[in-house]
Amino acid sequence: MARRTGGVLPEGLAEAIRGTADDIAAVLRTPAPDAGRLPVPRSAWTVGEAAAHLAQANALMADLAAGRERPYGDGTPGSLAEANARALAGFAERTPGPLAEMITARAAAFLADVEGRDPAERLATPLGRMSPAVLGSYLLTHMLGHGYDLALALDRPHMLDARRVGLTLPFLIEAMPRVTDPAAVAGLTASFAVRLRCGGPGFGVTLADGAVRADHRPPARPDCTILTEPVAFLLLALGRVDPWPVIARGKALGWGRKPWLAPRFPRLFHAP
């Protein structure tokens, strides 16, 4: 887990949030005419709708960081999708340039507001109460997922890298038990150790009788160990790519007593 260096957020997280927002804005500032109407791959949204959602979500996160509770669904994928649809319906802006400015301004507002929080405080979020540091990891994860979508739609380089992916783990680990697919884990008893390549962090997930526990430390004797390239890991975790092509390209490997569980692992969860 990232070291804390005196502020509320772990080392490097504020820089990653600011840099990711800037990178997304750069993607949005130089599109072709009518780019806002382009479809986003693997999504029902257009570029304009995805960018509008990001601007709204960054504003939501800034409000939460300031201690203002804002109900936004009940944490289930269906309720979050409904809340997104309602929010978009009440927000008319779809032009990439102005949305780019909103995304960066609201990320900056989050960073200003979060530093006034108690690091031990538990703030209300759409996926339950979280510490300010985990909320920052949540914001980064959300921006990276939709930023990747926008870059793909506009044929621009994406903004994911190993350092930024590592900073998403505090949120992903905390969120995993909340976004489990009940049908996928029913009857499954297994333990996983997940490690990121090139000396990246790792974590553990244990399933038993439909209950899921995620931990920052991998289990000592997992049933399945998964070693994955960091960017591929996040894209799998967020449902942006399918497991088998990633495995075929050698970007994810699984071994242990139950290696066949490796391709199944990403499908145990619904991306938030």
Per-residue model confidence as pLDDT tens digits over 236-267: 999 999 999 999 999 999 999 999 999 999 99
pLDDT tens track for 130-146: 999 999 999 999 999 99
pLDDT number for residue 146: 98
Determine the length of the chain.
272
Decide if 201 contacts 169 (C-beta within 8 A): yes
What percent of the chain has pLDDT above 90?
86
**What domains does the chain contain, in order, with CATH numbers?**
13-176 (1.20.120.450), 180-268 (3.30.1050.10)
Residue 116: pLDDT band with limits 50, 70, 90: very high
Least confident of 20-24, 46-50, 86-90, 268-272: 268-272
Position 66, amino acid: A
Position 1 pLDDT exceeds 90:
no
Return phi, psi of residue 40, to 5°: -90, 125
Rounded to 10°, the helix 230-237/162-175 angle is 40
pLDDT number for residue 29: 92
Position 31 pLDDT exceeds 80:
no
pLDDT number for residue 74: 81
The position carrying tokens 């959300």 is: 142
Q: Which of 187, 177, 183 is nearest to 213 (CA)?
A: 177
DSSP 8-state symbol, 41: T
Decide if 204 contacts 193 (C-beta within 8 A): yes
Give the C-alpha separation, 187 to 16, whole Å: 39
Burial of 92 by CB count in 10 Å (0-12 exposed, 13-18 middle, 19+ buried)? exposed
